[in-house]
């Protein structure tokens, strides 16, 4: 994934959060130009955050990256960059970077890829007991993957990341 990205945008800095890299993997990454490896300290959080398949670490990583680097493109390791289509979105994120929230109509946390199904399809039915919603609307609402996101550090963003 990093090699694909570097072919498209060779000068961008890439920050890899180490949530379980081997020593060899970390060494390889550190030898790639403009790649920074940051160790995620699981000891700072409850033990259940370390269960990688639950993804509880993900909003924490995104929050830490926003606090340290400002606007980010968050990418899971499963994402592949085959062309420059995704480059259109950072210009939308930049409207937030200009401190011109009044004119910026784009939400500060943008997901990129459609999953191919509705939100209703992926939601446990008992959730609707606790979150009032119109089920028919959820059946028509597209669900987007969280593996590729463009995120800017705003009050709204940090409120979402708490959830």
pLDDT of residue 91: 60
Question: Other CB atoms closer than 10 Å to residue 109's CB: what's the count?
Answer: 21
The torsion region of residue 102 among left (phi > 0), alpha (psi -120 to 50) and beta comes to alpha
Q: What is the mean pLDDT of the chain?
A: 83
Between the ranges 85-89, 134-138, 146-150, where is the mean pLDDT highest?
A: 134-138
For residue 124, give both structure tokens: 């446990």
Q: Would you place residue 146 in the very low, low, confident or very high pLDDT band (cuts 50, 70, 90)?
A: confident
Q: Please give the Cα distance from 144 to 71 (Å, whole number).
A: 20
Domain ranges of the chain: 2-156
Is 105 a residue whose pLDDT tops 80?
no
pLDDT of residue 135: 87
pLDDT of residue 56: 93
The one-character DSSP state at 1 is -
């Amino acid at each position: 994934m990093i090699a694909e990205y570097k072919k498209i945008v060779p000068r961008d800095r890439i920050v890899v959060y180490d949530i379980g890299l081997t020593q060899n993997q970390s060494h390889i990454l550190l030898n790639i130009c403009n790649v920074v490896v940051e160790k995620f300290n699981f000891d700072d959080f409850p033990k259940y955050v370390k269960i990688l398949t639950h993804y509880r670490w993900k909003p924490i990583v995104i929050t830490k990256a926003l606090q340290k680097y400002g606007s980010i493109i968050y990418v899971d390791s499963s994402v592949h960059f085959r062309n420059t289509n995704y480059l259109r979105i950072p210009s939308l994120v930049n409207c937030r970077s200009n401190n011109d929230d009044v004119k910026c109509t784009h939400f500060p946390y943008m997901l990129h890829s459609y999953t191919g199904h509705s939100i209703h399809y992926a939601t446990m039915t008992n959730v609707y007991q606790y979150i009032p919603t119109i089920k028919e609307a959820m059946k028509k609402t597209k669900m987007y993957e969280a593996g590729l996101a463009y995120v800017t550090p705003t009050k709204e963003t940090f409120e979402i990341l708490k959830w």
